[in-house]
Amino acid sequence: MIGIVDYGAGNLNSILKAFSYLKLPARLVTSPEQISKLERLVIPGVGSFGAALAELRHRNLYPAVINWLKENRPFLGICLGCQLLFEKSEEAPEETGFSIFPGSCRKIRAAKVPHMGWNLVKIIRPDPLFSELDSAEYFYFVHSYAVFELMGHALALTYYGSHFVAAVKFGRIYGVQFHPEKSGPAGLKLLYNWGTKC
């Protein structure tokens, strides 16, 4: 069973519908007791870095998520959920993220912010997450912050004003800055790969 963390924000219904279409059992989770019974965990993302962490703490979900990550269990962070895997964000400098990956999310410096719409994602490191996808695919983005420092954990990059990290991996922990649930066939294929191969 895939659990989608409900912290009062995010794109929950679209992700549930995507997993349902793929015939991958998924449910919303609202308590730490539910998290302990899952096989896979997703934190989706629409919202702000600081507010998301505060809400996870308020709902007593934060310790369960931290334990899950420490145990290197299958995890997917989407958009804001990906950013939470890093140490810091300019959006909430006083907060500390899950710190699975080094580095900080910074505000996008481009002519138009937020970065919204389809953009090319270039895979720089082969991984089962991208199985049967081309080396460059279009995915859908909606975000104002990103990680610009290239690191050894990066799987894919996107260019918008400058290059930023589009996908990362550490063990069985993945993060994607784009929204696969809004990205048509390529996004569905990526979600299926994660749910069956990663």
- For the record, the structure tokens of 158 come out as 């996107």
User: Is 153 marked active-site?
Assistant: no
Q: Which entry of 39, 79, 115, 132 is annotated as an active-site residue? A: 79
Dig out the tokens for 49 from the structure: 């870095």
Annotated catalytic residue, options 91, 153, 179, 198? 179
Q: Which of 82, 143, 153, 181 is catalytic?
A: 181
Contacts of 43 by beta carbon, 8 Å cutoff, 6+ apart: 5, 7, 10, 65, 75, 76, 77, 78, 80, 81, 84
79 a catalytic residue: yes
Q: Is 181 a catalytic residue?
A: yes
174 sits in the region (left: phi over 0; alpha: psi -120 to 50; else beta) called: beta
- Which residue, chain included where needed, has tokens 């749910």? 195
Active site residues: 79, 179, 181
